Each structure stands twice: as C-alpha cells, then as structure tokens.
Structure 1
C-alpha cells in the first residue's frame, strides 16, 4: 500500500510511518516526478488518500459537483477506535490495483486541483500552534522503495518544493483547522458523539448542505454574522469553511467569538 502522507495531519511526535525520516526545513533533497520517470503514477495506486476539507472544495469545484454529490460518488467516510475525528478517503477504482479514480496513463486528470497529499509527496508537513499562537512546522521525507524520482537531480528544500507544488493556499486553509484539532478540550480528552461526528462532516465537507441549513435557519451562530460570513452564505466557499469551523467550535465547546 502506498503511503501518501495525509498533509497537515502528521502528528508532531517522534513516531513516523515506515520509510519516513525527519527533514530539516533548510535540508535539500533531490526529487522530481514526470512522465519520463519509469514509476510515473505508481504512487497513485494501492493508495489510501485522506482528503482535507480544502481538498474536497477544490475537487468538487473542478468536477462541477455540489459537495453532497461529491461525497456520495467519491468519498468513503471512516472512523475507528482511537480516532478523534472521522476521516474522508477518496474512493479507489476496483481494477486490481486500487488505482485513484482520477489517474490516467498520462497522469492526473485533475492535476491543477489535486489534493495536498499528492502535491506534497514525497514530503510531508505537520503543524501545531505554540502557546504564544505562533506556528510550529515539522517536515518529513518519505522514501518508498518503488519511487525512482529520487534519482532525479532537482534539489530543493521542503518549503521550496511545497511552494512550487502550489501548496500555499492549502496550508493556509488547513492551518485554520488547528484551532479545532488542537483545542484544549480535545487535548483534555473530549471525544465526539455520533451526532457531533455528523456535524463535523457536514460543516467541513458537505459545505453546500451546511450553507443551505444555515441560510434556512435550521442551524445558526449564536451571534450576528460578520460581513465575510454573510459572503460565505452568498457563495464564497473558502469563507464558508471558516464559518463551518467557527460553528463547530460553538457547538462543541460553546465558543462564539469571531
């Protein structure tokens, strides 16, 4: 099974997946992927690919689908003992190789809107908020035996590679979620009920349904909406993700600040 690292969700601990090694922010590594590399698209098969909320936002827009339709057609929602939040995985084709639904012989058919884990491969990034609210980053490098891209001579650091792969927008959006993932009550042992898990999927993944529920008054913030939040209800999906995050903080922990 290939191990695309769920970008942004690397635990800030010493425990790393197989074939992973720590990577300093200023440490260069040689890697490039292109059709001339003989293992081209192999990392798109035998794959578990976790999707972040922003991943789904980009993909559903690319395909011209509403979020509910995308979830129904392309996503498996999973939760098992020990997980705090449910995870959304991209479905794979039953072709004997568990290939990504978007991979072709020529490469990725949604390349400009590919998920963050695909962009970051073979590197990964973990992030956390320090006590002073500054961001701490951790980088890793995944050297899987099948990958021949390391024989290429293009050298870069992880931050340089991520910028070249268009990860800036993904990181900015994903880092906002740290206020939920690393909330003090989560760290103190708070765990979601089934109803709260359903809220999580609705607010961060089924965003079109969340927008309609809020616009129709079936769910609401316990304070007036800001101009940006009203814009979210009018159609700004990126602002809608932030509104969904604030709504979850309200529903889980009673927080109502903007």
Structure 2
C-alpha cells in the first residue's frame, strides 16, 4: 500500500500535491488520482498538469514539455527535499513579483515603502496541518502546523472550537484574489485595505492563518465578540501565536482579529 505523503512540494510556478488530497474533477481524473502518488498542479489556476504513477509521469495537458516551470518541477521529483524532521524549509525566489504588481498598477518599491511590509517568500515545502472549515487541505510550515494542532487541542479542552479558514497562499493565489475582486467592481485601493498585495501577504510564508469558529462568518470583525477570540486573546501567546493586524496597525490594513501568525513562544511579548 502506498504511503500517503503529507507534504506539499513547491516551485515558483508549479506545486507537487499528494494525489490523495486532490478532488477529481471528472471521471478520468478519478481514475488517475486513484493510482497517482503526486500530481503536478499549476499555481496560477489550479490546473492538473501531470500525474506521477508507478510506471512514470502521465501528462494531463497537451504539450507538457512547454509548460512554464515544468523543468523545475521535474527536477524536484527527481531529487525531493529531505522532509522528515525538518522545521526550517528554504524559500523560493520571489519569481515574477514585479510583473504581478505592475499588472495591478502598483510599484513594488513604492508599495513596500508606503506600507512598511516586506516581500514574503514562499517556502520550499509545507506540511499538512489538517483541513480548514471547507474541508480543504490546510498547509503550514511544519513548526506552525504542530503549533496550530496544539492550539486547537488546548482550546477544545476549554470547550472552545477553533477552525482554520485559510493558511498558506501562494503569490499567484493572492493575485487571483485581487483579480476576482476587481471583476466584482472593487478598486485596487479598496482591496489593499483588506488584502496585502501579492508577494507581501503573511500567508505566503506558511506561518499565518485565518481563524474562525462555528456559526461565525469568516474574516469579519464580529469574530472579536466570540468566545473563541476571547480564548485566543488570553492563550494564543503561550502557543507562540500573535495577532498581526490590531487596530491602528502601521501597515494600513484593517483590523483583523481573525488573522494570527506563529512566531514562536519566545517572540510573543
């Protein structure tokens, strides 16, 4: 029986997903996923590019060899990182960062200076930290994944249910958030009040997550009035978590009582 991987391997353009975590989008997908160890998935749109079978690589799109970033992904298949016991994966180069921001009418240097935010690189790999409210795999750095599980268990012992709303997001995924909101008629300035620009979100690093609780809408200020937030305010620091965007934060981001980052217990004041 094939061992189920619990790691997401990362390249600037393509992710290598454990096949057992992916949903089939058609009957053909179901047959392939049932026999695959990993699936190469394009970050920009989630397209399945190829499946890794015992017999070799099975392309799922035409002209796979021409897919941008495919060589890096195949190299990672041939020489995967040593994952067991590692808490400190390396980071990827911020590929195409200026291109993404220019597409939104933003200058990277000016945005960084205005907000005080730093460019956040994506990690080489992430660990499965369970599943979020929507039953999607929750990816975090290995240390953050363990800390999140301990945090949830401690809250549960006190009768408080914590749910993950989202964890790691790639630069491309962040750009997709902007594109979807622009399509709904929002201006870039409006979006920037709620979402950091692609390449600058803490979610890229894999150590931040949005937290919710049953019955409470996601990512709303009303989370502040819940027993879950009260519990986090009193106990999150002991588990190494800090709220990133309090009221009046210097980055110009709205108050986000739901957004917490694992910084380690020694770093929390």
Q: TM-score, normalised by structure 2?
A: 0.31
TM-score normalized by the length of structure 1 = 0.31
The one of the two structures with greater contact order (alpha-carbon pairs below 8 A, sep at least 6) is: 1
**Structure holding more helix per residue:** 1
